[in-house]
Chain A
Amino acid sequence: MGWPEERASVRRDALGIAAYAGAFGVSLGAIAVASGLTVMQTCLLSLAMFSGASQVAFVGVIGAGGSALAAIPATLLLGIRNTFYGIRLVQVLGVRGRRVAVAAQFVLDETAAMVIARDDEREQRYAFWFTGVLLFIVWNVGTMAGALGGSAIGDTAAFGLDAVVPAAFLALIWPRLDDATSRLVAIGGALVAITLVPLLPPGIPVLAAAPVAVVAGLWRREPRSTT
């Protein structure tokens, strides 16, 4: 594939993600307003926080009647996984100085997944920026529409969109599951998270998969040379 085709392929995939992310944005906007946030607060949350899982946690605490300050630690806990993505992303992005500050806002599950799905560095950088900026626009327009339109929006589950999220991330990590270590880490991370779902608040089980990667990364040495 030549570069124009590769770029077109990145854009196609990113549009697919944007389509369902937009629908979730609309649904989150409606839930945020129903939980007691104003339209302005809902929009600022999407603009400034721009992290689906953290926003869901924030809105969840407010909606459950918790104090606004109590929402802060829950939100930050879910933001930690973006730190881990950053450690991977910085190796391909090649950004310095002011551009790091801009790139940081686009560090997300989706951009990390789009990057690791690819091998070529130029393609990875394009995937990061294109997906990040597109999602930023779609997510903010979506939450604003949801906040304004409220309950007029249908249930995302009715269209099977809740199955699209795991399917999309699975499709994006699929090319990385070509070696035994990655496969073990993926299975290990999935099992750890599943085991902890009934025991811990939402979001924490996913974060608990990170130590699996740390242990596996420190354990496995590079294959020894045969000389």
Chain B
Amino acid sequence: MIWVAIITASVGCYLLKLAGLSLPQSLLDRPDVQRVAALLPVALLAALVAVGTFADDGRLTIDARVAGVAAAVVALLLRAPFLVVIVVAAATTAILRAVT
């Protein structure tokens, strides 16, 4: 049964990925569709950022991750490159956890 579930769920996930790429060109050419398409990743990824910062097992918490992401914001405001931003976030969170 577990094999059936793995294969069914995997095929389903693949078809969901494929569906977005398979929208007809006539629809994609519409300006309103283009505006929504441009904003969708922004909304979803911003939600991922928020959940990744504050959610823990279905609850909202404030822990060392918040400090890490805050440090990342400072790095971004200072125009730090991507790798610096993520290392700053990891280091801030890890150091804070080590000392508390």
Contacting A at CB under 8 A, from B20-55, are 20-23, 28, 31-55
Q: Is A141 an interface residue (CB 8 A)?
A: no
Contact assessment for B52 and A79 in the assembled complex, using a CB-CB cutoff below 8 Å: no
Contact assessment for A101 and B18 in the assembled complex, using a CB-CB cutoff below 8 Å: yes
Interface string of A196-225 (1 = CB under 8 A from B): 011001100111111011101110101000
- The SS class assigned to the A binding surface is helix
Contacting B at CB under 8 A, from A158-214, are 158-174, 176-177, 181-182, 185-194, 197-198, 201-202, 205-210, 212-214
Contact partners of A88 in chain B: CB under 8 A: 20, 37-38, 40-41
Known: A90-B20, A171-B86. A162 touches B58 (CB 8 A): no
Contact partners of A167 in chain B: CB under 8 A: 68-69, 72, 85-86, 88-90
| B36 CB, min distance to chain A CBs, angstroms | 3
Q: How far is the CA of A75 from the CA of B11 in the complex (A)?
A: 11
Contact partners of B21 in chain A: CB under 8 A: 86, 89-90, 93, 95, 100, 103-104, 107
**Interface size classification for chain A:** 35 or more
Closest to B3 in A: A41
Q: How far is the CA of A100 from the CA of B14 in the complex (A)?
A: 12
Question: Which of B5, B93, B95, B97 has the most C-beta atoms of chain A within 10 angstroms of its own C-beta?
Answer: B5
| A8 CB, min distance to chain B CBs, angstroms | 12
Contact assessment for B97 and A157 in the assembled complex, using a CB-CB cutoff below 8 Å: yes
Q: Is A138 an interface residue (CB 8 A)?
A: no
Interface string of A87-131 (1 = CB under 8 A from B): 111110101000011011101010011011000000000000000
- The SS class assigned to the B binding surface is helix
Q: Is B99 an interface residue (CB 8 A)?
A: no
Please count how many residues in chain B sit with their CB below 8 Å of the partner chain's CB atoms.
73
Q: Is A33 an interface residue (CB 8 A)?
A: no
Contact assessment for B47 and A209 in the assembled complex, using a CB-CB cutoff below 8 Å: yes
Contact assessment for A181 and B39 in the assembled complex, using a CB-CB cutoff below 8 Å: yes
| B38 CB, min distance to chain A CBs, angstroms | 6
Contact assessment for A164 and B90 in the assembled complex, using a CB-CB cutoff below 8 Å: yes
Q: Which residues of B contact A (CB under 8 A)?
A: 1-14, 16-23, 28, 31-55, 58-60, 64-65, 67-69, 72-73, 76, 81-83, 85-86, 88-95, 97
Q: Which residues of A contact B (CB under 8 A)?
A: 12-13, 16, 20, 37, 41, 44-45, 48-51, 54, 58, 62, 67-69, 71-72, 75-76, 79-91, 93, 95, 100-101, 103-105, 107, 109, 112-113, 115-116, 157-174, 176-177, 181-182, 185-194, 197-198, 201-202, 205-210, 212-214, 216-218, 220, 222
